[in-house]
Amino acid sequence: MRAIVLHCVLLMVLATSCSSKDDVKEPTLDVNSEKWELVKMISSGKGIETTGQDMEWQEYYIFNSNATFIKSRVQDGQTIEASGKYVKDSLGGEEFLELKYINGVELIANCTGTKVELLYYKKGGVLRGVWSACDGPELEYEQLKK
């Protein structure tokens, strides 16, 4: 079941992304912790783009070399954190991260109602979620410079 959902979501992403194989590269997750910050939010219905402090919330991921992650969101003055494990993978030339949540499931941005979230890597160093495939906002993350 997980594989079917994963394939369906990634096929939707592939169909709408219009990128070639040359545009895809593996995320640069190395032995040091890396922080990816939410930089852009595009509403699904109206296509309204917001950035910075204008977004509904501020959020980031930290990916650790031991294949664990932390996700933190600040919204309405409250901070919520989630954590879990991640796996780097690819399908049809698209590189992505599959995040498996252990706690903080209220922060999962997915279409399936499972404890799994997908982020795919785009040219220009952007991680993009797939929540927009089911009426969620399109969320884009960029790696903070070290």
- For 68-101, the pLDDT digits (tens) are 999 999 999 999 999 999 999 888 888 899 999 9
Can you give the pLDDT at residue 17? 46
Can you give the pLDDT at residue 41? 96
pLDDT at 7 over 70: no
Q: Which of 24, 3, 5, 9 is nearest to 123 (CA)?
A: 24
Give residue 113's region: left, alpha or beta (phi > 0; psi -120 to 50). Answer: left
**What's the whole-model pTM score?**
0.78
* Nearest-angstrom CA–CA distance, 79 and 59: 9
Q: Hey, which of 8-17, 30-39, 96-105, 131-140 has the most confident mean pLDDT?
A: 96-105
Can you give the pLDDT at residue 123? 76
Q: How many CB atoms lie within 10 A of CB 37?
A: 15
Can you give the pLDDT at residue 106? 95
Domain boundaries, the chain: 2-143
Can you give the pLDDT at residue 32? 61
Question: Stretch 128-143: mean pLDDT, rounded?
Answer: 92
Q: Three-state SS for 146? A: coil
Burial category of 97 from C-beta neighbours within 10 Å (exposed 0-12, middle 13-18, buried 19 and up): buried
Can you give the pLDDT at residue 146? 59
Per-residue model confidence as pLDDT tens digits over 28-75: 444 366 899 999 999 987 889 999 999 999 999 999 989 999 999 999
Do residues 83 and 68 lie in contact, with contact meaning Cβ atoms separated by under 8 Å?
yes
DSSP 142: E
Do residues 24 and 125 lie in contact, with contact meaning Cβ atoms separated by under 8 Å?
no
CATH for 2-143? 2.40.128
